[in-house]
Amino acid sequence: MDLLVPETLPQSLRRGIVSRNLMAGQRLFRQGDRAAALFVVTDGRLRLVRCVGESNLATVQIVQPGESLGEAALLVDAYPETAIAETATWVLGYPKSLLLAALNEHPSLAETAVLLLTRKIQELTLRLEWRDIPMARERLLQYFRHLARSASRNEILLDRPLKEIAVDLGFTPETLSRSLSRLEQEGAITRSGRSIRLQDASAA
Amino acid sequence: MDLLVPETLPQSLRRGIVSRNLMAGQRLFRQGDRAAALFVVTDGRLRLVRCVGESNLATVQIVQPGESLGEAALLVDAYPETAIAETATWVLGYPKSLLLAALNEHPSLAETAVLLLTRKIQELTLRLEWRDIPMARERLLQYFRHLARSASRNEILLDRPLKEIAVDLGFTPETLSRSLSRLEQEGAITRSGRSIRLQDASAA
DNA sequence: CGCATAGTTGACTACGCTCAACCCTGGTGG
DNA sequence: CCACCAGGGTTGAGCGTAGTCAACTATGCG
């Protein structure tokens, strides 16, 4: 069973699926909203943002197609973060109660759910790993290397504003810009606009 | 079914469970090891450490009793991090193949697995949230507030060396020490040794 | 053509890191 | 019982890096 292909799902769950289309900037849910459903992105991407303290914003994750968000619905009754579409985005929503019920009745669904969550854990772990690299250039380089590995090519095309990439990595846009310059002048990368090529192929 | 109570598990899985006792400092598995099993901590705690680049260590998570580690085994064939016992620790290991099989046959197990993973996602998210707070005092304060909420008391007893707490939060021990001092002199907390009391009850 | 926004660069600040000395506690052995 | 040592913890001085504020350029869109 594949959560993204409703035809493969049991009737009971399929009927409850909600499909939502979001414009860039639109919110799927807000921190504190009653959490009733888990979502999976089919197209586009969403940014998960947490507000902590008085004025600190934390981007927890960028959710890409095939990944889940709002799993907290399974555990607690309020979303702990806000989900904002970064581009035009399409998501499918699975009501908590129906999903848990379907899980009990259809084991093969359980397996896909487990894999979905595991993938999310890997994503989060990766972000934490980056954050533990203190020096900006180094952190950025690791990020690029990861993208390169994912694409299995060492030419990367950044498909979104550097601004956003910056906050993902925990930088200000200025710092990102400077880091890019220095990486280039140190010969670690060459860039033209948003196309980046890694020079040394040494991966972690 | 409860993964931590073998009696409640199906025979097939129960037979395959491996139980391990670790001394403080001992490694359960190392980054790159063949990943064959998912573990759950029953007692003690483990630190998940990732080595990135040449000389950067990232503590991804402290795994507490009832939490899982090594879920990556379900997705990839090598552990992406090293697991080190921080104290005497007892874990149960569930071989990947048996676990997936049992998942398919015993839906109620699937539910507990899903919840387990969801909890882990929450933990990781929390850590990321902290890391996005740039100022040390503020970050530390949020950390304390979280502990206070968990204990639903605003007196906290830190049960491990400040050293370790420091690296969890992404600080050096010196910075943590200084932040503590300043929080105290600013009146946000009072402390005697490792006992911390929060002053203002304003939570996020 | 002009406006809005992304991106770049500069000057300055300030925070956390590094290195070092020091205190304090707990454990060990003479 | 005390001397000694090891390790955690604290404090200080100086440095370096990223953040901030600001000006300026480039790009894309109405």
Enumerate residues 6+ apart whose C-beta is below 8 A from B15. none
Could you give the 3-state DSSP secondary structure of residue B99?
helix
Q: Taking CA atoms, what residue in A is nearest to B126? A: A60
**B126-B129-B130-B132 Cα dihedral, nearest 10 degrees:** 160
Measure the CA–CA gap between B58 and B67, rounded to whole angstroms. 19
A55-78 pLDDT, tens digit each: 778 888 889 999 999 999 999 999
Q: Residues of B numbered 6-45 whose beta carbons fall under 8 angstroms of chain A's beta carbons: which are they?
A: none
Q: Identify how many contiguous H helices and E strands chain B contains and give both numbers.
A: 6, 11
Tens place of pLDDT per residue across chain B (204 aa): 788 888 888 888 899 999 999 988 889 999 999 999 999 999 999 999 998 876 778 888 889 999 999 999 999 999 999 999 988 899 999 999 999 999 888 888 888 999 999 999 999 999 999 999 999 999 999 999 999 999 999 899 998 999 999 999 999 999 999 999 999 999 999 999 889 999 875 544
Q: What are phi and psi of B28, to 5 degrees?
A: -80, -45
Instruction: Provide the phi-psi class of B44: left if phi over 0, else alpha when psi is between -120 and 50, else beta.
Output: left
Looking at strand C, which nucleotides approach a protein CB closer than 7 A? Answer: 6-11, 15-20
Residue A74 contacts B where some CB pair is shorter than 8 Å: yes
**What single letter denotes the amino acid at residue A19?**
S
Instruction: Calculate the angstrom distance between C1' of C20 and CA of B173.
Output: 15
Measure the CA–CA gap between A159 and A156, rounded to whole angstroms. 9
Facing residue for B129 by CB, picked from A60, A119, A122: A60
CA distance readout (Å), B185 to A15, A57, B189, B191 = 59, 27, 8, 10
Structure tokens that stand for A13 in this block = 């769950």
Cβ of residue B34 near strand D, that is under 7 Å?
no
Instruction: Calculate the angstrom distance between C1' of D1 and CA of B192.
Output: 30
Cβ of residue B132 near strand C, that is under 7 Å?
no
Whole-model pTM? 0.92
Residue A97 contacts B where some CB pair is shorter than 8 Å: no
